[in-house]
Amino acid sequence: MQFESLDIIEPILKSLKEEGYTTPTPIQVQAIPIVLKGTDLIGCAQTGTGKTAAFAVPVLQLLSNNKSFERKRKIRSLVVTPTRELAIQIEESFKAYGRYTGITCTVVFGGVNKNPQTNALRNGVDVLVATPGRLLDLMNQGYISLKDVGIFVLDEADRMLDMGFIHDVRKIIAALPQKRQSLFFSATMPPEIVKLAGSIVYKPVKVEVTPSATTVDIVNQSVYFIDKGNKNALLLELLNDKKIKTALVFTRTKFGADKVVKVLKKKNITAEAIHGNKTQNARQRALSNFKSQATRVLVATDIAARGIDVEDLEYVINYEIPNIPETYVHRIGRTGRAGADGTAISFCDAEEKPYLKDIEKLITKKIRVVNDNPFPLIDNNPVKAPGQQHRNNHSRVESHRGR
């Protein structure tokens, strides 16, 4: 199937061609016709499935078809998403797909000066992409009114829940007109998310794609069982392989990300961290450096990594196994996109074994264990006397150095 068969207008088709889009993804095939009919939608889909285009394309078309609304300061469509990186990406997508439509779009997010954002709003905008905190802030200061919003998109709803934004989201919903079209996207649908969706959408059509299966099948996955104290040594060992031009490394904490960057820099490996304590400019700079391969290793926490979309990324390394199994699928979904090769390598210490079991249960397959492991797990018991693990780790590193 081609985009032409989805009744998309010529100006949008032209930009999609320029962006290199030819065949719509499953979520786009299902969602675009529903949204174009003006129906509410629940989309169960993860980042990497093409869901941004699944809502951006029909929203642009609906707004283009209704030009009677061209009055200043009227926000006609609102997209709310949890992270700054994702918000920036969505705005870029709207601008790319809508470059020949005359539809205007701007983005607002925290961590940067408000003035450029408020100036853009004063000039009037058709589509506003926003993170919850900054949106509420600007609403409270009178810069934004949602009373004219005709199409509302809530993206990454489950991540909103994880990040504690649900209260903010409810405040935003309360400020929206009752009569509107609502599009609700979430990678997972736990009970709290189902309840939230019920308060937003009216007579929705539900579409679901299961990229966990496709991602899991495409990406070459393996796991090293290793003592916690040897993870740095194993990471350095892997990065000795020149085939790994760039790697996205995941840690569970901001502190952990910074520590890994220090270890890599000491060995003259270009590395940067991206997490919530970094300024917006620092995060954007780190991402740009990584995309251009000026930085070889980007170390990220899960929340900061939402919205990281790097073409031809071949390697994802789970320095620490996530304690939420769906997060593992999100992480490895950063590689192996659009049929490209992808490799996901995980380091699993004794305490993380239960997390690995949960992941294997979710993806319904066993992850291949690397037996040719320079640092095999010695501390198979997560509870050890202080000092004993250190001695084991020290001896392993020393023996590896002598190899």
Predicted confidence (pLDDT) per residue in 99-118, tens digit: 999 999 999 999 888 888 99
User: How does residue 232 score in pLDDT terms, banded at 50, 70 and 90?
Assistant: very high
Q: How many domains does the chain have?
A: 2
Same domain, 113 and 197: yes
CB 12 within 8 A of CB 96: no
Q: Is 393 helix (H, G, I), strand (E, B) or coil?
A: helix
Q: Which two tokens stand for residue 333?
A: 């979904």
Q: At what angle do helices 353-363 and 325-332 cross, to 10 degrees?
A: 70
Q: Report the alpha-carbon distance of residue 8 to residue 387 in Å, rounded.
A: 65
Q: Going by C-beta distance under 8 Å and a sequence separation of 6 or more, which residues neighbour residue 326?
A: 158, 187, 188, 212, 362
Looking at the fold, whether 225 and 103 belong to one and the same domain comes out as: no
Residues 234 and 158 both lie in one domain: no
Q: Are residues 250 and 294 in the same domain?
A: yes
Full domain range(s) for residue 243: 212-401
Q: Which of 209, 233, 257 is the last residue of a domain?
A: 209
Q: What is the pTM of this model?
A: 0.61
Residues 202 and 298 in one domain: no
Last residue of a domain, one of 168, 193, 209: 209
Final residue of a structural domain among 193, 209, 225: 209
Q: What is the mean pLDDT of the chain?
A: 85
The answer to whether residues 248 and 358 belong to one domain is yes
Segment 68-90 shows an average pLDDT of 80
Same domain, 42 and 154: yes
Residue 10 is encoded by which pair of tokens?
Answer: 């010529």
Give the domain CATH number at 200.
Answer: 3.40.50.300
Q: How far is CA 319 from the centre of its chain?
A: 18
- Check whether 144 has a pLDDT greater than 50: yes
Are 35 and 91 contained in the same domain?
yes
Q: Which amino acid makes up residue 402?
A: G
Could you tell me if 318 and 391 lie in one domain? yes
Locate 233 and state its tokens: 């040594």
Do 283 and 157 share a structural domain?
Answer: no
Using alpha carbons, select from 347, 358, 325 the residue that is nearest to residue 233.
347
Instruction: Using pLDDT thresholds of 50, 70 and 90, give the confidence band for residue 392.
Output: very low
User: 389 with 345, same domain?
Assistant: yes
